Amino acid sequence: MYHDVRAGAPDPAVPATAAAYHVTKALFAEHLRAIRASGRQVITASQWAQGRAGDSVVLTFDDGWRGTFEVAVPMLLEAGWRATVYVTRDFIGRDGFATREMIREAARAGIEIGAHGTTHRMLSSCTPEEMRWEFLTCKRDLESIVDGPVEHASQPGGDWSEDIAACAQDAGLRTLGSSRPGVNGASTPRHCLRRVAVKAGTPATAVGRFCRYAVGLEVARWTLLQMPRRLLGMRNYSRLRRLVLDGHRTERKAVFEP
């Protein structure tokens, strides 16, 4: 689970909580070499859903950041690989994010476009109608941009629930990527696919390890983190996380809240 790959210096307008997930171009090149060395097939979410799960990895990108399209996509295509990019409808055309043209162009080149919410709000705080609208509106608008079906999604934030999964399924989405780390097999629920977060500081050795499906460390860390999140509630957890990671920058106007 990638977010952005950037060619230049970090954008000061991007809050630290988001920038922590933005990988430099040089590091991403190292990651691609580690993936190549692993010998795994690189496939898309739809190829995975079609049953090509045996010896593969799926590279996903959340939100629809500009660098994903300008930096990561050309590198992936040069490697002969495709990826699944989950785009938030309301981020399209904003500073730091992809334009409609960039998304259409990437889809034409073989990149799979998936949905990542209409507004990027936490689905756990939505009514069932709002949740449905978040999935459906994003899906429909992206379909009009790529001129083809959008059948896969990932959810903003980490607050997965059975209701969210059921809603995604009702909206016609065949898979839903979560933020739960792990390895996806035949028994993994298709609307709670496991993904391992790649962060700004994730070394290529770790990406190589993820490709060997050795993600026990990430699973253990995630399990521990569930405790305070559940006790504090999602909103307070986000506040606490921002306070810890962002410090003095919390008063700045956030362009993006992960």
Minimum CB–partner distance for residue 186 and Zn ion (Å): 28
For the chain, count helices (H), then strands (E).
11, 9
List the one residue out of 192, 188, 133, 185 whose CA is nearest residue 166: 192
Binders of Zn ion in range 47-86 (CB under 5 A): 62-63
Minimum CB–partner distance for residue 94 and Zn ion (Å): 13
Nearer to Zn ion, 29 or 234 (CB): 234
Angstrom CA distances, 102 to 73, 94, 107, 108, stand at 10, 13, 9, 10
Which region, judged by CB under 5 A, interacts with Zn ion, from 21-29, 148-156, 169-177, 214-222? 148-156
Instruction: Tell me: does residue 96 bind Zn ion (CB under 5 A).
Output: no
Residues in contact with 126: Cβ distance below 8 Å, sequence separation at least 6, in sequence order: 134
Instruction: Tell me: does residue 159 bind Zn ion (CB under 5 A).
Output: no
Instruction: Tell me: does residue 156 bind Zn ion (CB under 5 A).
Output: yes
Count of residues that interact with Zn ion, criterion CB under 5 A: 3
Q: Are strands 41-43 and 22-24 parallel, antiparallel or unpaired?
A: unpaired
Minimum CB–partner distance for residue 131 and Zn ion (Å): 16
The residue type of 151 is E
N-to-C CA span, the chain: 13
Nearer to Zn ion, 56 or 119 (CB): 119
Q: Give residues in contact with Zn ion (CB under 5 A).
A: 62-63, 156
